[in-house]
Amino acid sequence: MRHINHTSWQFNKRCNLKYRAMFSSTLSRLAADHSVAAVLAALVICVAAGWLVVSLRERAESSKGPSCTQWLIGMATVAGLGVWTTHFMAMIGYRPDLPIGYGGQVTAASALIGILAVGLPLAATVLVRSAALRAALGGTAGLGIGAMHYTGMLALSGCLQTQKPGATLAAYGVGAALMALGSGSRRIASSPRLSSVTFTLAVCGAHFVSIAGTTLSPLPGPVGMPGANNVLGIFTAMGAAILLIGALMTIIAARRFEAQERAHSTILATALHNMSNGLVFIDGSGRLGLFNDRFVDMFGLAGAALHIGMRADEVIDFVSAAAGLETEHQRSAAGRIAERLEPFRLAPVDYVLPNGRTVEIDSNPIAKGGTVLTFNDVTAERAARNEISELAFNDPLTGLPNRRAFRERKLAAIAGDAPFFLLLIDLDRFKAVNDTFGHGVGDKLLVHAGRRILEVVGGSGFASRLGGDELGVFVYGDAQTAMEIAQGIVRTLSQPFVLGEVTASVGCSIGLCSGDGVATPDELMQRADVALYEAKRQGKGRVASYRPGLLEATAERHRLEADLREALHRRQFHLAYQPIMSLETGEITGYEALLRWDHPVRGSVSPAVFIPVAEETGLILEIGRWVLEEACREAASWPKGRHVAVNVSSVQFRSHLLPSHLTGALARSGLPAHRLEVELTETALVEDGPTIARALAEIRRLGVKVAMDDFGTGYSSLAHLCDFPLDRIKIDRSFVAAAQADPHAHAVIKAVVALGRDIGIPTLAEGIETVEQLELLRGLGCGAVQGYLIGRPARFLEDEKVGKLVLGSIFAA
């Protein structure tokens, strides 16, 4: 075994000595066959060409469009001519002992091959991103070096040339391998020095490896003077000149570009650091590549501590610590920023800093890798937006949501699944507050009313002002909850409002509607409106719930209103007169005018049906004016001792038009004022006592008499007899009908008759239908009576003897 190892060692030693000898021999032969000056000149040209190729490639990579194309053409030309010039510069000093010549056409063709086979593939590497494809193109350019060398060697003349195939293949391989390595490696391609060295080694390596396998021998015959062909010298000089000019132009262009880049960098830096937005660039490797002063100021950072090259997570931690974020917030912020470093675009997002400032964060991925983050302080903008939104959706007076917000809530409630109820609120007697105390007090009242409603509704409901004194409330839950809240609102708004030196009392009516089964917002509002109308019709200060049929009833009232207007226009009304008899004389002393309506389709419509509608719509003013004129005109033809009594609505009494209607009717008819008597119910007197008292006083100043109708059925108070100037008290028919069987009713009639006699106000009993009732009233001392026993209401007056016959039968009995 020891003998075998010794033998192997001796064999390897002999091989190494052999290869060393061959390599030494080759170098010696190359040194002997070449001029050192020419080789050094070729090396300088090759290094210069490599540097030019790298510079031109950088310019091409940073350019676009036609400019990029121009740089690529220059790069291909310089690369091809660099290889060609290096080859022939070395060939000028090759075998100076032989009279070598060169063919002009083949030499020129070799230059073209250098540009096409070496320059074009090398320029194409700029246009591709794949490392493998760049390596393939670089290898092709390396093979092109060998092709150019082979063609250049074909141009030799004046000698015999033999080449070893192995050396030729090795030359091709050296060029292809080195050029593939230089083009495919990102590290070498990104380093101008390494790229230049790789290019030089590829060109020189391919040339001298091939030359090492080449043998030149003189031709038989006389030997000429040694030296290079003048054509080769001219071509080589031209190539070197082109490379020199290219080098100078590249240096000038490089300096120019560097100056432009410095100017651009200065401008960009100035713009960058004077931006109103904070800016940060995170490169493709996840490190901080750029930031501006605004970013540092916005987050209160120390500029020295924040530096280029920091990892993204380090930047996030640094910013979070400077902003005073808690650990949980730091993780949340880190997650959001990490998401924005992904290579896809996200919508801007707002982030509120611990100091209350609002920052809008936007991200823009970069095509070559990395992300630009911008930070915009939008605190003032968001505050303005919120203020605009506040104005758009809130009532400026009460601070409650407005009609627009109410509409949005209404749409959401109908679209949702949760049960809800709508409360439509209208303040009662609000107009009187505005008229009496002014709109300033009215505005204060609305503000306080809104606060009271919010206290009742609580945080689970939604209250809004729809306009004027109308408010809307959404209540979520069951019907009992909605009704309790509605009644709570009625109670709280019925309490007096102390508004500075003024105390005002209003109240409210509420229409309540369930959202169950409602398909559209209009349907919901229609039902709530109908319920509110019903609450007001029932006497205000109450809650009315929508129920099936209520909408139809409201529609019927609307049709009745339209028919009333038509009746007024077409004079479908007429008056019926019921006689009034004095119990003292048995004479007919006057008639009460009763309004009747004969509808062409409905037939005779009761006043109990159409009078409330006329009062609600205001038509009662025009109807009442006609009644006064017609009654006065008719009464003017009666015997002078008889008067006419006309019922006047409380709506007419509250209107400033009543005095003018009275004077107009008396003037046109010629009826003396003392023969006209207006009747007003006790309930109407109580509704607005001071206003009614002033109206009564003005009426009596005209000479017209005033009677209190239906005394005892409303808010009866003896004070009314003292507060209001009256000329007659009318005892309601309900007491008359019950007087004989009910001692209480009998006592009331007796007390009213006695009171009227004592204070000097005559009394009149209504609803006398039997002789017994008449005898009772006469016995109690009542002044006058009316009823079916005395005479039914008739369009044309009956014989005046009716009263005498009735009274005579009583005396006879």
User: CA-CA distance, 730 to 748, in Å (whole number)?
Assistant: 13
User: CA-CA distance, 365 to 221, in Å (whole number)?
Assistant: 76
Helix (H, G, I), strand (E, B) or coil at 72: helix
Q: Which of 148, 198, 194 is nearest to 177 (CA)?
A: 198
Give the angle subtended at the CA of 200 by the CAs of 159 and 44, to the nearest 5°. 75
Q: Which residues contact 168 (CB under 8 A, 6 or more apart)?
A: 146, 150, 210, 213
User: CA-CA distance, 143 to 177, in Å (whole number)?
Assistant: 9
User: CA-CA distance, 406 to 426, in Å (whole number)?
Assistant: 16
Reported residue count of the chain is 813
Q: Which of 587, 496, 592, 486 is nearest to 542 (CA)?
A: 486
* Residue of 766, 769, 798, 800 marked catalytic: 766
User: CA-CA distance, 609 to 163, in Å (whole number)?
Assistant: 131
Q: Which of 123, 134, 116 is nearest to 58 (CA)?
A: 123
Residue 677: phi and psi, rounded to 5, are -125, 130
Q: Which residues contact 588 (CB under 8 A, 6 or more apart)?
A: 579, 580, 581, 582, 642, 800, 802, 803
Helix (H, G, I), strand (E, B) or coil at 294: helix
Q: Which residues contact 646 (CB under 8 A, 6 or more apart)?
A: 592, 593, 627, 628, 631, 676, 677, 678, 679
Tell me, what amino acid is at 170?
A
561 included as an active-site residue: no
* Helix, strand, coil fractions of the chain, as percent rounded to 5: 60, 15, 25
User: CA-CA distance, 221 to 798, in Å (whole number)?
Assistant: 173
Bridge-based pairing state of the strands 676-681 and 705-711: parallel
The helix (H) or strand (E) run that includes residue 633 is: helix 619-635
- According to DSSP, residue 685 is labeled H
The catalytic residues are 766
